[in-house]
Structures are given as structure tokens and as C-alpha cells.
Structure 1
Amino acid sequence: MKNLFLFSLILFFATSCISNKRITYLQNLPGNDPIDLEEFIPFAEYEKNYILQPFDVVDIDFASADEELTKAFEFQGSRNMRMGMGGMMGGGDMFFLTGYAIDSEGYVELPRLGKIKIGGLNEEQAKTKVQEAINTYFKDDVYVRLRIGGIRFTALGEFSSSGTKTILKHRATIFDALAMSGESNILAKKNKLFLIRQYDGGTKIHQINLNDRALLASPYFFIQNNDILYLEPMNIRQFGRADNLSSSLGLILSVTSSLLVLFALLRGNL
């Protein structure tokens, strides 16, 4: 019985202890050139200008020296609604209610200007296209502002707070997203974060290693609008809540005690 108990304890600690190397961010991993502290790390080449896609929501606003000129090109009360909701609603919800949705063919419909195709363009290109459309109406200068409502992403799997989030920035890192999602659970496979990213006409799945310091120079260090982050659980979850040592120990001791009692009964009947 003593040997069985020792074997059970060894099995428990072998399966429930998690190495720090599996949960520590930004390590110098073997096989990579080490990155020292204070070392300058240039950003990798990545698509800095997000490409607008069908079903995105954009905020489009007009300004002119004569404010009366632009009122006909806005939904009634939308500007006042944005100002009133700015301090009341979190995230980018106000953009969903007051912005303009891009349809499945990439068009956005504006009052009087009609449908303008901006899908497949970045923000600056889309702004120029709307500017050209409104310039046909006025000789006076009318300024167009076009922007997406922050960076929306979805966190799934081993996060403390999963769901769809919005970062009100034009640029955000993968760690901004992790922090907003409650960081990752200790049981997450930090070396296998799946980033599902939408591109013009399709989707790709990228795998990211959060343990690797080389991530700082990766093109996936910055997240983009509509990214999906998915963290798998470690296999150790099969043996109970390994992030809570006391509960896991209670579970394994309970099972071990039952096995010892069963072993004693069987041995006594022989």
C-alpha cells in the first residue's frame, strides 16, 4: 500500500506541476538569437494601414466654415448623439450606433452622396474618396474625417475575461489585447496562441509564441481590427484544476484513498 501511495503522489506532481518556462512571457528561447535588456528592437514590417472590409463600421464626419452646408450630408442628430454618448458608453459602441456600415459589396451609403465604395481601401484612401464625392457639391472647402471605431478584437479560450473587446487606439499590441482580456489563464498554452486574422477576401490562422522574446520583432506583435485570439488549455486540465494546487491535491488524495481502501478489501478477501 505504501508503494501505491508513493506512486500516486509521484504521478500527481509529475502531471500537475507547471514549469515556469511554460508560463513566463518574453523569454530568450533556445535556437533564437538572444535579445538583451536595453537592446533596441525595430518593429517588423506589417500592414500599418488597416484595409476596410465588408460589415466594418466607420465614423464619417464633415466640417466647414459654414456648418449649415454639411448638415444635409449627415443623419439627423448623429453629431449631437456622438457628443452625448461619448462619456456614457464604453468601448466603441457609439460608433456602431452613429457610424456607417459597409455592406457586403464594400459600399457605404451616405445621405445625398449615395453609395461610395470604400471596401478594400485603407482609411486615408477611403477618406479621399468621400472627399472627392462631396467636393462635387461645394466650391467652399469641406473637411472630411473618416475613421474606424477603435480596434475590435475577440478573445476566446483560456482568458480571464473572454468576449469581444474594443481598444480605442489606432495601434495596439498583442499585450494590450491580453491585458484587456484579463491576461491569460495559467493553464493556457502560451506557446500556441492562435491569431485568426481577416484579409481582403479571406482569413488566415497564425500561431504566436508568447514565451518568445522574438515576438517583439514579429509582424503579429500589433493586432488589427477584427482579430480573433484563441488560447488552448494545457492537457493538465484533465487532472483537475491544476492552477489551484489545494483542490488538485484534494482530488488526487481522495482518489488515492479510495484505491487504497479498495485494495485492502480485495486483499482481505483473498
Structure 2
Amino acid sequence: MKKPVYLWASLLAVLLLTSCASRKNFVYLQDMEMGLKYPIETKHEAVVHRDDRLSITVSCKNPELAIPFNIYDGTFRVGTDGSVTADASSKVNEKGYRVDVNGEIDFPILGKLHIEGMKVSEVRDLIKQKIEAGEYMKDPLVSIEFLNFKYTVLGAVGSNGTYTVDGDRVTLLEAIAKAGDLTSKAKVDRVAVIREIEGERQIFMHDLRTKDIFDSPCFYLQQNDIVYVEPKYKKKDVEDRGWQVATTLLSVVTAVCSILWAIK
């Protein structure tokens, strides 16, 4: 009657050894202390880049005045007094405005606007100021949203690829989590973010074991950022492979011995 007990114990040992071979040997943000508060120094705002597609809606107390500043995908009615109103089936075009290679959008009435490199709030203020300066309306409300915010994750993560998000707010940790987390081969202190800044590419390196990532300009990702998780060096890979082979052989030997002992 004791043989099944020993058999199950042996199989459990095999599983434990196998799991130990592939476990991660790091802890995220390990220098953060329980109970302490870590202030957020700056508020995140996305920056506009070329090929971004933006949804821009203008509104005011008098809806008729805002119609020329919005792209509608429907029909309009002209009243007897000459006023123009959008048909009930009309809505603001969801394709939005694409930022061209020159960093500009072609906005109704206002014409070409150079917005590349500007924050969303700065674009909003620019449009509002131009509308007011032209005396088209008073106190316009301008709403802006990204329609194609995306980033790419490569390297030692569960799933490489390009990801899109609603809105424009995603952190480096969220991006890694969405990509399936780091693998056991990841160098946790060599997580790079490659970013385009004023026509040049810059690389920022991060150590995910420390809270210092909160102070990084890349903690909040920007449009078209590339996150690259560097894998361990070849020497380390060889060591890991040797450990995996050794534990696998030990597991097989243990399993065979257990089976032979059980059938005696």
C-alpha cells in the first residue's frame, strides 16, 4: 500500500524540479517600500507624430457655428433663413485627420496646421485660438483623441508584436504585461525603449527591478515607441541550457526508477 504513496511523491518531485528550471529569478520594483507614497512628478500627455490619425471635434453653445469645423459623413439641410444643420443621420467622420509627412493636418476653414511635436493640449489650444482670432465663434470646445495609438514590443517577452490601445495612455509595465510578460531569458535590467524625438531616434534603458522607472520619460509610452527586452548573453544561455538538460535527465531517471520500483 505504501508504493503508490512513494510513486506520487516521486512524480511531485519531478514536477518541482521542472518548475524550478524555468522560474524567473527577479522581482519587479523590489526597492519599493510598503506604506510609502511615491509622488507623480509630471502629468502624462501624448505627443503628436507624423502618420498619427486624430479625431478632432469642435463644438460650442450654438451648434450651427461649429458645423464647418467638423468633418461629417452625412448630409446637411439649409433652412429658410440660410442656416445650415447636419442631418440626423450625420456624424463626425471616424477616419479623422492624418498628420502628413510635413507634420501638418488640413483643418476645415483654418487650413494647414503644423502640429507635429506638439502635445495634445497644445494642439487643442492652437485650434481654439485660431477659431477665436478669426471671430468664427466664442468659447469653442475642442476635443482631440488618437485613433491609431500603437507601440511595438520585441525581445524576450511572451509574444512579440505591435499593439494598439484605446486612447493614448499606456505604461511600460502595461506594455510588457500585454506582451505576455518577460520570459526567463530576459535581462530585467536591460529593457530599452526606442523613441523618435524631433526627427531622431533615441534609446532609453530601464531596470524593472527598481522604482527608478517611474522617473523615466518612457514610463508612459508615446506613439510608435519600440520596447526591446534584451535576452541574456550566450554564455548565460548555455548555463541555463545545461541546467535544464540536467534537471530533465534527473526527472527522467527519477520517473523511470519510480515506475520500476512500483511494478516490482
Residues 102 and 119, structure 1, Cα contact 8 Å, conserved in 2: yes
SS of structure 1 residue aligned to 2:91: helix
Percent of aligned positions that are identical: 24
RMSD of equivalent CA atoms: 3.5
Residues 241 and 248, structure 1, Cα contact 8 Å, conserved in 2: no
Residues 21 and 247, structure 2, Cα contact 8 Å, conserved in 1: no
Deviations 1:165-185 (A, max 9, x none): 233355432211112222122
1:115 paired with 2:104, answer no
1:230 paired with 2:228, answer yes
Structure 2 CA distance for aligned equivalents of residues 107 and 221 of structure 1? 27
Structure 2 CA distance for aligned equivalents of residues 159 and 248 of structure 1? 24
Moved more, 128-137 or 173-182: 128-137
Structure 2 CA distance for aligned equivalents of residues 106 and 175 of structure 1? 30
Structure 2 CA distance for aligned equivalents of residues 18 and 192 of structure 1? 20
Corresponding position of 1:40: 37
Map 1:1-270; keep pairs closer than 5 Å: 17=21, 20-21=24-25, 23-28=26-31, 35-43=32-40, 45=41, 48-77=44-73, 80=91, 98-135=95-132, 136=134, 138-149=136-147, 151-235=149-233, 245=244, 249=248
* Residues paired across the two proteins, number: 214
Larger radius of gyration: 2
SS of structure 2 residue aligned to 1:109: strand
Residues 130 and 144, structure 1, Cα contact 8 Å, conserved in 2: yes
Structure 1 CA distance for aligned equivalents of residues 123 and 214 of structure 2? 30
Q: Partner amino acid for 1:48?
A: H
TM-score, normalised relative to structure 2: 0.66
Residues 24 and 183, structure 2, Cα contact 8 Å, conserved in 1: no
Structure 1 residue 245, shift from structure 2 partner: 4.8
Q: Displaced runs of 4+ in structure 1, greater than 4 A?
A: 16-20, 236-242, 244-248
Structure 2 CA distance for aligned equivalents of residues 120 and 188 of structure 1? 33
Structure 1 CA distance for aligned equivalents of residues 229 and 186 of structure 2? 6
Q: Partner amino acid for 1:58?
A: L
Distance 1:217 1:105, change over 3 A: closer
**Which stretches in structure 1 are left out of the alignment for 5+ residues?**
1-12, 29-34, 83-96, 254-270
Structure 1 CA distance for aligned equivalents of residues 123 and 212 of structure 2? 34
TM-score, normalised relative to structure 1: 0.65
